[in-house]
Amino acid sequence: MPELPEVETIVTGLAQRIEGLRVEDCVLNRANMRFPFPDTLQEVLIGATIQAVSRRAKYLLFRLSNGFTIIGHLGMSGTMRVLAAADYEPRKHDHVIWELENGCLWVFHDPRRFGFLLLEQTDKLAGHPMISALGSEPLSAEFTADYLAQALSGRKTPIKVALMDQKLVVGVGNIYASEALFDACLSPFMPANEAAKDAEKLVHSIHITLRDAIASGGSTLRDYARSDGDSGYFQHHFRVYDRADQPCVKCNENIAQSRQAGRSTYFCHKCQCVG
């Protein structure tokens, strides 16, 4: 679901609302999502204080006062909201509800159940299999044109598919891969090793696209909502994503839709030199 801008927006909101608070109770409305919930989830959580909420790639990290960290993922349709207990009305797919010491509820809702929660000791977090193999954070200093060019070299896979490979660069999903390639005027079908020569342009476009989206509070399609329950606004800024047959904002040609690795790709034939 949510790609980096959406996860970032949720992390910022959750940090403001739950950091420093003790968990009074933890209600599991089912035994599993994508994976079974850890047996010790409730035991570890109840009575612990949430020291810090952060993000690595699209993973949410909740550092607890007792040496454990919750690793969360929102999958395609997950949301996390915090609201006053008095305002809570149960909804289908509210899978986990944490009761906080200030009387608020922190609710994990996920219709498609591709999301999950795992538990790891904080000092072993970097070695966790889901975390250890991840590529560069696109908004960090290490995500440079040199890094990207090196990572793309020798790969024949289409550049759009490569940008969505989390071992290469994290946080770029189907929406922002299409948007960044349009910004860079590069064909999504260009082999990655050819696109390596445009690494500088690509890094710039990925930066711009993600920062704009974060500034807009992310994109709301169906399920995504910020931690305050409000929607994001970046969907109004889409230039190609979900705009098939609508005029290109630069050249007025119709935006085209295709499929790569099972995912929809949107692009402008003219601006992105797709022959």
Q: Which residues are catalytic?
A: 2-3, 58, 263
Residue 95 near DNA by CB under 7 A: no
| One residue of 46, 54, 114, 237 binding DNA per CB under 7 A | 114
- Report which of 51, 114, 52 is spatially closest to residue 79, judged by C-alpha positions: 114
Nearest residue to 211 (alpha-carbon basis) of 143, 147, 267, 110: 143
Looking at 264, 269, 270, 274, which residue binds DNA (CB under 7 A)?
264
Question: At its nearest, how many Å lie between DNA and the CB of residue 197?
Answer: 17
126 lies in the binding site for DNA (CB under 7 A): no
Rounded to an integer, what distance in angstroms lies between the CA atom of residue 47 and that of residue 50? Answer: 10
112 binds DNA (CB under 7 A): yes
**Residue 155 interacts with DNA (CB under 7 A)?**
yes
Amino acid, res. 129? P
Instruction: By CB under 7 A, name the one of 49, 54, 144, 157 that touches DNA.
Output: 157
Least distance CB 250 / DNA (angstroms): 22
**DSSP one-letter string for 47-107:** T-BEEEEEEETTEEEEEETTSEEEEEE-TTT-EEEEEEGGG----TTEEEEEEETTSEEEE
219 is a contact residue toward DNA (CB under 7 A): yes
Least distance (Å) from DNA to the CB of residue 207?
A: 18
The answer to whether 237 touches 212, Cβ cutoff 8 Å, is yes
Query: Residues 41-80 vs DNA: string with x where CB under 7 A?
Result: ----------------xxx-------------x-xxx---
Q: How many residues does the chain have?
A: 275
Instruction: Identify residues 227-256 at the interface with DNA (CB under 7 A).
Output: none
State the DSSP string of 161-230: HHHT-TTTBSS--HHHHHHHHHHTT--TTSBHHHHGGGHHHHHHHHHHHHHHHHHTT---SSS---TTS-
* By the rule CB under 7 A, 222 interacts with DNA: yes
Between the alpha carbon of residue 77 and those of residues 49, 67, 73, 199, the distances in Å are 27, 29, 10, 31
Q: What is the C-alpha to C-alpha distance for residues 206 and 146, in angstroms, rounded to an integer? A: 15
Q: Does 166 bind DNA (CB under 7 A)?
A: yes
Could you tell me which stretch among 44-52, 135-143, 179-187, 221-229 binds DNA (CB under 7 A)?
Answer: 221-229
Inter-axis angle of helices 199-215 and 4-18, nearest 10: 40
Binding of residue 220 to DNA (CB under 7 A): yes
Q: Which stretch binds DNA (CB under 7 A): 14-22, 41-49, 173-181, 199-207?
A: 173-181
Which of the ranges 46-54, 62-70, 157-165, 200-208 carries the binding residues for DNA, by CB under 7 A?
A: 157-165
Positions touching DNA (CB under 7 A) are 1-3, 6, 34, 57-59, 73, 75-77, 92-93, 111-114, 130, 155-158, 161, 164, 166, 173-175, 218-224, 260-264
